[in-house]
Amino acid sequence: MSEIKDKFYNYIQKLQNAITERLELADGSATFKEDVWLRPEGGGGKSRVIENGRVFEKGGVNISAVHGELPQSMQSYFGVEEANFYACGLSLVIHPLSPMVPTVHANWRYFEMYNKDGKIVDQWFGGGQDLTPYYLFEEDARHFHEVCKRGCDNHHPEFYSKYKEKCDEYFWNSHRDEARGVGGLFFDYCKATDKMSMQDWYNFVTEIGDSFLEAYLPIVDKRKDMDYNDEQRTWQEIRRGRYVEFNLVHDKGTLFGLKTNGRIESILMSLPPHVQWKYNHKPDEESPEAQLLEVLKHPKRWA
């Protein structure tokens, strides 16, 4: 087992504390409820969920560290036999009450795989953060992406453009031919190379994690007290339906959690509490809702 594993787990514990404290301050009413759980096959986690707040209708900031024998389905996925694994990470999804405040998702994770002698045969980092607005404020999208870009630029001049493009590709509802939101960063299988050690990857991933609050909270503060009406709330719930579709149909993290007997409440905490599916719903042309859809069908470069 590597010392990177222990260092990263300590990091996500501290990051969970920092993020939940700042989100509670931003909400000003609700607090996170903590749920500590154990996985029978090995490991466990700490889920923190906020509900029915003044600003946040539902959100979760979860950490986990699980280990054991890699299930048969995942052995086939990775093309290995009789492997053991260790995986730890922080995953969060925040669904605000107001349709003027965007939903946000972020995830930072580390994975190790071992042979039958317990030797590490593979290890990598992954993660990212992305923004899902219901009404498009271009300055918010630019701010979110500029923070992401600054963090990337400190480590490699091509990281932002590369991981922004991967985010647009990954969070794509192919059955709808549209993006889930306005993107951000997505990176996976970040392994040691001649140019990047695992320590270098650790430094990159933790800088992105540390930048999350700077990317998201100024947007929350700017939009949380804006007026909205019932029609705008309905639009938010229709768009949340697309969010649910992505997470249940396409998301690899959800699949991994289900395939490795993860805790179902923690895996599905990403789903919003109130959602609508209206048959063949199409917004009026030239409306703010239609303008959002145009950007979702043709992702833009924001930074």
Q: What is the maximum span of the chain, computed from C-alpha positions, in angstroms?
A: 62
- 274 is a catalytic site residue: no
* Helices 138-153 and 212-223, axial angle in degrees (round to 10): 170
Residue given tokens 């509490």 in the structure block: 273
Determine the Cα–Cα distance for residues 43 and 38; give it in Å rounded to an integer.
6
Residue given tokens 């965007």 in the structure block: 102
* Beta strand pairing call for 43-51 and 33-38: antiparallel
| 111 C-beta neighbours (distance < 10 Å), count | 19
Beta-sheet strand order (sheet of 183-190): 33-38, 43-51, 56-69, 84-96, 103-114, 120-132, 183-190
Determine the Cα–Cα distance for residues 106 and 212; give it in Å rounded to an integer.
8
| 157 C-beta neighbours (distance < 10 Å), count | 8
Q: Give residue 110's identity as a one-letter amino acid code.
A: Y
From 67, 95, 105, 143, active-site residue: 105
Fill in the DSSP letter of residue 282.
Answer: -
| Residue 293, both tokens | 């859809």
Determine the Cα–Cα distance for residues 263 and 269; give it in Å rounded to an integer.
10
Q: Give residue 8's identity as a one-letter amino acid code.
A: F
Catalytic residue annotation: 105
